[in-house]
Structure 1
């Protein structure tokens, strides 16, 4: 009777590590969906601006709003794909956990399958994080361009900022 319990306890111990990874992926998905929500809200606001009464600032403001919409579209695409990849990664982690338990009850040797599925989950997560980084770079690049409008009014950074 103790023998099966030892095997089950070891399987549960093996499954704990992927569960921590699953928790981390859930946190990443939470961040990604929050970013997507903010981007969508900004895009809707710009669309309302463009379809409403003429913008103050005329054609120049309209062109800036259209450029902003194009950037937001790129950001939405990157975040959306990152969410899809991270979700697929989480799904594969669930498969790994399931296979660990099924393998314990059926006594089948699925070690190679677990390795490959877990590796696929890690690769999907890595690509999802890469797209997250790309989305952040897109956002920062557009902010940097807008900061260029400040000219001499940019705050000083570094040691000289404290002295001024």
Structure 2
């Protein structure tokens, strides 16, 4: 018996099924863009503070140390969020590939595809939660200090 290739209709249906994960990849790409931008800005701020730190004294010196610690924590959180978002993108890509492999090979591993998609979503959720935590943490450094508001 000669194996038959799937018809154009089957491939078109698979492409339709793959569109949602592909849109998700687009959204993850935008998230990665935002995270990379935030990481860049944090690193720029660290470099600026590292220049000021040796020349500072007293309360200003303490403020620099406090902010450098906060920025170091933010870098760690952004890196974790980036890792989770990239992992989600990889899992989402595997879902798309799995859809086509299953169609072309007439394989039945819907459970594997579903589990991969669920894992991709969990990784994306974890990345977004990390991002939210980093944004909240960044607000601690942005608040106008009381001594400026009183005078």
Q: Of 3, 13, 16, which residue of structure 2 is paired with 1:13? A: 16
Deviations 1:80-109, CA, capped at 9 Å, x for gaps:
100000000000000000000000111110
Query: Structure 1: how far apart are the matches of 2:147 and 2:130?
Result: 28
Q: Which has the higher contact order (CA 8 A, sep 6+)?
A: 2
Q: What is the correspondence of 1:57-136 to structure 2 with a 5 Å cutoff?
A: 58-136=57-135
Q: Tell me, which stretches of 5 or more residues in structure 1 are unaligned?
A: 154-164
Aligned residue for 1:31?
A: 34
Q: What is the correspondence of 1:44-59 to structure 2 with a 5 Å cutoff?
A: 44-51=47-54, 54-55=55-56, 58-59=57-58
Q: Tell me, which stretches of 5 or more residues in structure 2 are unaligned?
A: none
Query: Structure 2: how far apart are the matches of 1:64 and 1:141?
Result: 12
Deviation at 1:147, TM superposition (A): 3.5
Q: Of 4, 7, 14, which residue of structure 1 is paired with 2:7? A: 4
Aligned residue for 2:46?
A: 43
Aligned residue for 1:141?
A: 140
Q: CA RMSD in A?
A: 1.7
Asked if 1:151 is matched to 2:149, the reply is yes
